[in-house]
Amino acid sequence: MRSEERSVFLGVYNDEEAAAHAYDLAALKYLGSGTVLNFPEITYLNECQEMQSMSKNDYVAYIRRNSNGFTRGASKYRGVARHHSSRRWEARIHDAHDNKNLFLGTFETQEEAAKAYDLAVINYRGSDALTNFPISNYLSEHPTSSQQLPVPKSA
């Protein structure tokens, strides 16, 4: 999808219909009611109510999280998997510059590991990062020093 002469990536889908629905939802958020859609606007009444409380970036991230291209592995969260020996949850992020996976630590819960991933991906990719939780949970008008990675538990 294009918005203000900028491409907006909505994810990867198994079929054209799912991709068309993702496009429609993003178009409604970015362009509003009355825009040309693939399916009747009435199809999206519930989604339109949900999207009202979300920023454009948060809603696009929500759409991406529901796509088939959102890598999950053993966890329901991106960048999180079970550590092979400790059975704790580990967080990793891919550093495209060095083409390496960076280990962020092990955590008691998937949610702690997912938050560590989110903060790291925001640090690497900025406010367009694809996070597990709404990016607005981490970004504010006045960021504080408390927005640090959760402390990993020792193995």
Q: How confident is the model at residue 64 (pLDDT cuts 50, 70, 90)?
A: confident
| pLDDT band of 96, cuts 50, 70, 90 | low
Mean pLDDT for the chain? 82
Q: Which of 1-5, 20-24, 43-47, 58-62 has the lowest mean pLDDT?
A: 1-5
Give just the sign of the alpha carbon dihedral 136, 115, 146, 108.
Answer: positive
Whole-angstrom distance, CA of residue 114 vs CA of residue 95:
17
Residues 107-141: tens digit of each pLDDT:
999 999 999 999 999 988 887 788 888 888 887 64
User: Which position has the higher pLDDT, 140 or 29?
Assistant: 29
Ranges in the chain annotated CATH 3.30.730.10: 72-155
Residues counted in the chain? 155
Provide, rounded to the nearest whole percent, the portion of the chain with pLDDT above 90.
37
Q: How far is CA 31 from CA 2, 27, 51, in A?
A: 10, 5, 13
Correct CATH for 72-155 of 3.30.70.260, 3.40.50.720, 1.10.3720.10, 3.30.730.10: 3.30.730.10
pLDDT at 150: 57
Q: How far is CA 96 from the centre of its chain?
A: 18
Q: Is there a contact between 25 and 38 (Cβ–Cβ < 8 Å)?
A: no
The model carries a pTM of 0.53
Distances in whole angstroms, Cα of residue 12 to Cα of each of 53, 84, 99, 103: 25, 29, 22, 26
What is the pLDDT, as a whole number, of residue 152?
58
Residue pair 29/81 in contact by the 8 Å Cβ criterion: no
